[in-house]
Amino acid sequence: MHTTLAALVMPPFLPLLGLLLAFVLWFFPATSPFAKLSLPLAILSFAVLWVCATPAFSFWLGERLDRISAAPEAVPQAVVILGGGRYRDENSGNERLSATSLERVIWAMEMSPPQLPLMVSGGRVYEGERAPEAELMAGVIQELFQRPVTWRENCSRTTAENAVNSAALLHDSGVESVVLVTHWWHMPRAAEVFARSGLQVQPLPVGTSAELLPRAQSGLLRWLPSAPALLRTQVYWREWLARRWYHWTALPPVRISC
């Protein structure tokens, strides 16, 4: 799903837009039916923004995502690690793996079968990026863990492209079943699209939804807004929307050159 379109239908933009519209309607003539909508719209928008920023709601939404199933009787032949972004210094141009990408790499090294060959998948998502994410991941794996990387899928910009590009490379090598490594909230969408691309998937998610609600956020604190909770709500909401989008759209073509 296009990033801009997703941002328009996610908090905080949508409830803030509702508050702005309520403010505009407030200045309509009192006899206008639109003026009467101002207060209800403002209350509704404020309530939606409040709820979306609470740990209780982000926990509930995250639990809705944490439902995946493994391919029956599939013997994995390779490990696929999906990129999760990078940090880039705009002044120097230096690039390194984001915390999300690094977590996936470390998790794969610790939890996946060590005898299986590795694939890293991720390209250049934004203009001006130097190395593909796959190259950054491969460098960390080889430098810190001394494990070879058999395949580097360098051209993907989305999860769907991760899947079709990776499947094309793996099928050429006779691989039909993989251990897929990504974060738990991303896994349902990733596993579905990899399965649609013709691969049998054994999910190896980083973390679970059970880690969402720390003990410090119990009782009344669960219903008090916080910036981390709103950020988690954005992530899970985007995943929910993107998963529906992928369900109704065709897979992209394989990107041969990038």
Tens digit of each residue's pLDDT (9 = 90 or more) over 127-163 = 888 999 999 999 999 999 999 999 999 999 999 999 9
Q: Which of 24-33, 85-94, 215-224, 228-237 has the lowest mean pLDDT?
A: 215-224
Find residue 80's DSSP bridge partners: 119, 180
Determine whether 239 is exposed, middle or buried from the number of CB atoms within 10 Å of its CB (0-12, 13-18, 19+): buried
Percent of the chain at pLDDT > 90 equals 65
- Asked whether residue 121 carries a pLDDT value surpassing 80, the answer given is yes
Q: Which of 31-35, 91-95, 184-188 has the lowest mean pLDDT?
A: 31-35
Q: What's residue 208's pLDDT?
A: 85
Distances from the Cα of 173 to the Cα of 51, 79, 110, 217, angstroms: 49, 13, 25, 48
- Asked whether residue 74 carries a pLDDT value surpassing 80, the answer given is no
Q: What's residue 190's pLDDT?
A: 96
Q: Which domains does the chain have, with CATH numbers?
A: 3-66+221-243 (no CATH), 78-208 (3.40.50.620)
3-state secondary structure of 172: helix
pTM for the structure as a whole: 0.89
* Residue pair 21/187 in contact by the 8 Å Cβ criterion: no
CA dihedral 13, 16, 21, 22 (to 10 degrees): 160
Q: What's residue 2's pLDDT?
A: 58
- Mean predicted lDDT score pLDDT of the chain: 90
3-state secondary structure of 200: strand
- Asked whether residue 1 carries a pLDDT value surpassing 70, the answer given is no
Q: What's residue 209's pLDDT?
A: 80
Distance between CA 225 and CA 240 in Å, rounded?
21
Helix (H) or strand (E) holding 103: helix 99-111
* Residue pair 82/122 in contact by the 8 Å Cβ criterion: yes
What DSSP state is assigned to residue 130? -
Q: What's residue 92's pLDDT?
A: 84
- Asked whether residue 99 carries a pLDDT value surpassing 90, the answer given is yes
How confident is the model over 217-231, as a mean pLDDT? Answer: 85
How confident is the model over 104-121, as a mean pLDDT? Answer: 97
* Residue pair 159/183 in contact by the 8 Å Cβ criterion: no
- Asked whether residue 215 carries a pLDDT value surpassing 60, the answer given is no
Distance between CA 21 and CA 207 in Å, rounded?
40
Higher pLDDT, residue 141 or 65:
141
